[in-house]
Amino acid sequence: MTSPSDIFHGKILVVDDEQVNVRLLEGILRGAGYDCVESTGDSNAVCGLHRRNRYDLILLDLQMPGMDGFQVMEGLKEIEGDSYLPVLVVTAQPDHKLRALKAGAKDFVGKPFELAEVLARVHNMLEVRLLHRETKRLYDELLSEHGRLIELSAQPGAMVGVKKDERLVTPWYLSLRLRLPWLQLNLVAAFVAAGVIGLFQETIDRLLILTMFLPVLAGQSGNTGSQALAVTLRGVFLGELGLVKERALIMKEALLGLLNGALVGLVAAFCMYVVATVKHMPNAFMLSVVVFLAMIGSCVISGALGAVMPLILKKLGADPIIASSIFVTTATNVASMGMLLGLAALLVK
C-alpha cells in the first residue's frame, strides 16, 4: 500500500524556462514536505533526465524554446511505452489543456499558481503514479507465479516421460514419439529388476511365502523414494539447494527412510510372522526378521537415492525432472527385492 511518506518521497521534476516559475514551484513543493524535487529550464534535457531517474511526477510547461511541452511528451511516451505518463501540465492557455490531455498528460495546473490547487493536484498525481507502480509490480509477480505454476504442473508428466510441451491437442503420432523412448528405457529397467529375482530363484522355490511380500517392500520403498524425489525436485526447480543443503537433504532423507522403514517394518514383520505361523512354517520368526531388516534397508536406500539422483543428473547435464523417476524406481525395486531375497538366503535355512 502507498503511504503518505511514500508520496512525500516521490521524485519530482519541474520543467520551465522561466526561473521565477521554477523557484516558485520548488518553494511550494519543498515547503509542503516534498524532499526530492529537481528542476531544469532545458526542455531538450527532460527525456534524458527521466530515462536516468524515472521521476514519479513531471511538472511540464508547454511553451518553451527548443522543444515545446507537446514534443517533450512525445519523447516521454517512447521511454514509458504503454505505461503511465506522469506529466502534470503547467499552462496559462486554457485552449492548451484539452490538447495536452489528449497528448498524454494526466492533469494540468493553471498560471498564475494557486497554492492549494498546486498541492492538491501534485498529491493526487503522485498517489496515482505510486499506485500504478505497485499494481504493475503485483501484476508482474502474478505473471511470474503463473509461469512457475505452469512449470510445476508439467513436472508430474515429465517425470513419467510426458514432455511439458505435450497437450491434449497434440497429435497421437507426436505423443507416441515423445513417450516411447522413456517407456523403452523403463522396460529395460524392469528387466533389471526381474533379473534380480532370477538370481534368487532357488530361495523363492524354497520360501514361496516371500513372493507375497515382494510387492509390499517394492511399494513402500518406492513411495519413500518418490517423497524424497518430490522434495528434491522442488528444491532444484526453485534454486534452493546449495552444496551444504544438498548434503543435509540427503542425510535427512536417509534418516527418514531409516525411521519410516523401522516403523513400517514392524507392522510388515508382524504380518509375516502371522502368515508364516498360520502356514505352520518352523522359521516364522526369522522370516519376520528378514522382512523387518529388508524394509529398513530398502527405505534408507530409496530415500537417499530419491534425494541424490536429481542432483547427479543435474550435474551431468541431464533433465532431472524427466529422468529421475525411472532411475529411482529401478534402484528401489532392485534394492527391496535384492535385500529381501538376499537376507532370506543368508538367514533362513
In a domain, 263, yes or no: yes
In a domain, 179, yes or no: yes
In a domain, 149, yes or no: no
d(CA 36, CA 129): 15
In a domain, 62, yes or no: yes
In a domain, 324, yes or no: yes
Q: Which helix (H) or strand (E) holds 63?
A: none
What count of other Cβ atoms lies within 10 Å of the Cβ of residue 92?
A: 11
Final residue of a structural domain among 89, 122, 138: 138
In a domain, 157, yes or no: no
CATH of the domain at 116: 3.40.50.2300
Judging by beta carbons within 10 Å of its beta carbon (0-12, 13-18, 19+), is residue 240 exposed, middle or buried? exposed
pLDDT tens digits for range 228-256: 888 887 777 666 666 667 888 889 989 99
In this structure, the answer to whether residues 113 and 248 fall within a common structural domain is no
Q: Are 46 and 60 in contact (CB under 8 A)?
A: yes
In this structure, the answer to whether residues 326 and 187 fall within a common structural domain is yes
CATH of the domain at 196: 1.10.357.20
In this structure, the answer to whether residues 100 and 184 fall within a common structural domain is no
In this structure, the answer to whether residues 34 and 126 fall within a common structural domain is yes
Q: Give pLDDT tens digits along the chain (349 positions).
A: 567 778 888 899 999 888 888 889 888 888 889 989 999 989 899 889 998 998 989 998 888 888 888 888 888 888 887 667 888 888 777 777 788 778 778 887 877 888 888 888 888 888 888 887 777 777 777 666 655 554 544 444 444 444 445 556 678 777 777 677 767 877 787 787 778 777 887 887 778 788 888 888 888 888 888 888 888 877 776 666 666 678 888 899 899 999 999 999 999 999 999 988 988 888 889 999 999 999 999 999 998 988 888 888 777 776 666 667 777 888 888 888 888 888 988 888 7
Q: What is the DSSP string of 293-347?
A: HHHHHHHHHHHHHHHHHHHHHHHTTS-HHHHHHHHHHHHHHHHHHHHHHHHHHHH
d(CA 72, CA 79): 11
Domain hosting residue 264, numbered range: 172-347
In this structure, the answer to whether residues 119 and 184 fall within a common structural domain is no
pTM for the model stands at: 0.51
pLDDT tens digits for range 260-280: 999 999 999 999 999 889 888
In this structure, the answer to whether residues 206 and 266 fall within a common structural domain is yes
In a domain, 144, yes or no: no
In a domain, 197, yes or no: yes
In this structure, the answer to whether residues 132 and 273 fall within a common structural domain is no
Final residue of a structural domain among 94, 114, 138: 138
Final residue of a structural domain among 96, 119, 138: 138
In this structure, the answer to whether residues 238 and 304 fall within a common structural domain is yes
For residue 57, give the DSSP letter: E
How many structural domains is the chain composed of?
2
In this structure, the answer to whether residues 132 and 177 fall within a common structural domain is no
